[in-house]
Amino acid sequence: MRFSGYASVSAIITMQTFTNKAGSVIVDKLILVIQENKQYLSDIDGLTGDGDHGINMNKGFTMCREELDKNPGDLSYSLKVLAKILIMKIGGSMGPLYGKFFKAIGTALEGKEEIGITEMGEALKAAVNSIASISPAKVGDKTLIDTLVPAQAAYERAQVEGKTLSEALEAMKIAAAKGRDSTKDMVAKLGRASRLGERSRGVLDAGATSCCLILHVIADAGKDILY
């Protein structure tokens, strides 16, 4: 919904939205943040995994950049382009996991001209469920789930508490960072890092780190275009 003219502050606040069209900038910034953090993510993965997480992510996101340069579109479209590339071209576990993640968000937002706290909330919930449908990973396994699940929960809590989209996104950011950091003390139970057992303790999980970057960009770029 668009609001013309004046409205009460609280009304404006609870009605915070951004347009699906303007939202495409979120994907632009997601691509940038992955490209910029390619080395960092690989380095983290190198401590417990095979050191290619940044490479894998960068490959998919950069392919998406090329596709969007040729055929740009709104947020839901761009997310679905990203998802399709991750699913169809990247492989490994990362391709399908983040592919499902972005596909769920893109699908949830599809057809919505305006994206407010409810739309975003549904999208995040769909993303969590979609990943859960293909991965058995649970909180505590030292994966991206440790970032994603508490972040979505924090958003939902804010939403239930009647917070604004801005506030909910902010709550999500904080929880995502906390979730990411929580992986530091965990022993990996899934993926390559599980090989290390106790030795995987003491370093961040690469997927949890990239997931935190992604959620922060969604929050920050989203907030930037709120009106």
Partner 1 sequence: MQKFINDPSKVVDEMLEAYIKVHADLVSPTENERVIKYKYAPVEGKVGIVTGGGSGHKPAFIGYVGRNMVDAVACGEIFSSPPAQMFLDAIKVADAGKGVAILYGNYAGDNMNVAMAMEEAEEEGIQVKKVVANDDVPSAPKGEEASRRGVAGEILMWKVGGAKAAMGGSLDNVIEVAQKAVNNTRSMGIGLSPCTIPEVGHPNFTIENGKMEVGIGHHGEPGIEVVDLEPSAKVAERICNVILPDLPFNSGDEVVALISGLGSTPLMEQYIVYNDVEKILTEKGIKIYHSYVGNYFTSLEMAGITCTLMKLDDELKKCIDFECDSVGMRQFQRL
Ligand X SMILES: Nc1ncnc2c1ncn2[C@@H]1O[C@H](COP(=O)(O)OP(=O)(O)O)[C@@H](O)[C@H]1O
Residues near ligand X (CB under 6 A) are 45, 49-50, 52-53, 56, 92-94, 97, 135, 137, 143-145, 190-192, 205-208
Alpha helices in 51-116 (DSSP H): 53-70, 75-85, 94-109
Report the residue closest to ligand X, judged by CB.
207
Based on the number of CB atoms within 10 Å of its own CB, is 5 exposed (0-12), middle (13-18) or buried (19 or more)? Answer: exposed
Q: Cα–Cα distance between 221 and 214 in angstroms, integer? A: 10
Q: Which residue, chain included where needed, has tokens 């050191």?
A: 51
Piece of 22-30, 121-129, 153-161, 184-192 that binds partner 1 (CB under 8 A): 184-192
- Where in 39-58 is the site for partner 1 (CB under 8 A)? 46, 50-52, 55-56
Hey, what are 4's tokens?
A: 């013309």
- Cβ pair 104, 123 in contact under 8 A: yes
Among the listed residues 64, 82, 90, 128, the single contact to partner 1 using CB under 8 A: 90
Report the residue closest to Mg ion, judged by CB.
49
Give the chain's length.
227
150 binds Mg ion (CB under 5 A): no
Which does residue 205 bind out of partner 1, Mg ion, ligand X, none, counting CB within 5 to 8 angstroms by kind? ligand X
Hey, what are 193's tokens?
A: 């890092």
- Cβ pair 38, 55 in contact under 8 A: yes
CA angle at 73 for the pair 68 and 74, rounded to the nearest 5°:
125
- Cβ proximity to partner 1, 169 vs 211, nearer residue: 211
Residues near Mg ion, by CB under 5 A: 45, 49-50, 52-53
Residues near partner 1, by CB under 8 A: 46, 50-52, 55-56, 87-93, 95-97, 99, 134-136, 190-192, 194-197
